[in-house]
Copies of this chain bind each other. A is one copy, B any other.
Amino acid sequence: MAAVSRAFSPGAPIEAEKKKRILAAAEEIGYISPARRTANAIAAGTITLVSGDLLNPFYPSVVDALARRLQDSGRQLIVYALPAHADVDLATEQILSSRPSAIIVTSAQLTSRMARACRQHHIKVVLLNRVQRDIRINAVACDNYQGGRDAGRVLLERGHRGIGLIGGVANTSTHVERVRGFRDVLAEAGTSIQAQASGDFDYQRGYQAAESLISTANRPEAIFCCNDIMALALMDAARKRGIRVPDDLAVVGFDDISMASWDAYRLTTIRQPVERMVQEALTLIDDPAIKPGDDGITRMLAGTLVRRDSA
């Protein structure tokens, strides 16, 4: 049928109504036009990474690890950079238009609309370094709760009282879980968070949050920062005021970005196993037993406490 061919050729002259009916019928019987077939074949070797925050050094390390692994298996990595704090909806159309075999979302909020669209198109989705309870979706993350506990334990061990917290973006699992673990371990020791500020997971805001915490009369003796960038900002803010780390102020971060090991900081932090997280994400994607429509599987990997000099 000529009309069918026309329905599948973008720009061909065909009545919108008829085209819609043809497309619907095609969907029904599972017909795929040859053009789409080749497009699918190409896209099969392609994985899209959607990242919201490439300027935080943690995420480039993810991009790097992912790109290398995909290259090893002859596949390609498409990178989408979202504006900070944006959810994925904005780019849904564009991301789906390339019909990748899978999408990895990191540092960004997935929406149920997008999740539905991906299921419909049989595209696997894996959240990396995020877990979302509102949507049933595959996810790989570091055990943020345990990491938060470890951070708390380090600070308690050293006998600190007056413990503060610099949080990240409130509605992210990375923030929520880390804080929950931290708070729980303090509670078990009969204490609690004395002062708290939000640093939005970035340096500038982290710096502001740090200042607000350490400029008060009874400033905390120890502060847990929900990621390393904010911890480094805190250390910078402390240095500026002549507050010595760790003597006057103990600092623990989370991620173990490369700067954390630099001499200027020597930050004690929880290392996320980036390589293994990427590997797990690809395992979820490559496992044929896991279907795009399946319920969410969450793979939790343990972080490692890295003791340096800041706590």
Report the Cα distance A240→B265, complex, angstroms.
11
Decide: A63 near B39, CB < 8 A? Known: A94-B74, A258-B203, A265-B264. Answer: no
Which residue from B38, B71, B263, B264 sits with its C-beta under 8 Å from A38?
A: B38
- Interface stretch, picked from A75-83, A121-129, A168-176, A290-298, is A75-83
Report the Cα distance A77→B91, complex, angstroms.
14
| Contact residues in B for A237 (Cβ distance below 8 Å) | 263
Decide: A98 near B76, CB < 8 A? Known: A42-B42, A264-B239. Answer: yes
Report if A64 contacts B (CB, 8 A): yes
Interface residues on A, range: 35 or more
Which residue from B34, B55, B80, B232 sits with its C-beta under 8 Å from A60?
A: B55
Number of copies: 2
Report if A182 contacts B (CB, 8 A): no
| Contact residues in B for A57 (Cβ distance below 8 Å) | 57, 60
Interface membership of chain A positions 254-273, coded 1 if the CB is closer than 8 angstroms to chain B and 0 otherwise = 00001100111100000000
Minimum distance in angstroms from A154 CB to a CB of chain B: 22
Classify the interface of chain A: helix, strand, loop or mixed: helix
Interface membership of chain A positions 51-75, coded 1 if the CB is closer than 8 angstroms to chain B and 0 otherwise = 0001101011101100110010010
Report the Cα distance A68→B82, complex, angstroms.
8
Interface members, chain A 226-247 (any B CB < 8 Å): 232-233, 235-237, 239-240
Minimum distance in angstroms from A201 CB to a CB of chain B: 14
**Are A94 and B71 touching (Cβ within 8 A)?**
yes
Which residue from B55, B78, B236 sits with its C-beta under 8 Å from A262?
A: B236
Q: Which 3 A-B pairs have the closest CB atoms?
A: A236-B263, A67-B81, A60-B60
12 extra interface residue pairs, beta carbon distance < 8 Å, beyond A39-B42, A54-B67, A67-B80: A54-B63, A57-B57, A64-B81, A67-B79, A68-B81, A71-B80, A71-B91, A76-B98, A79-B79, A233-B262, A235-B264, A236-B264
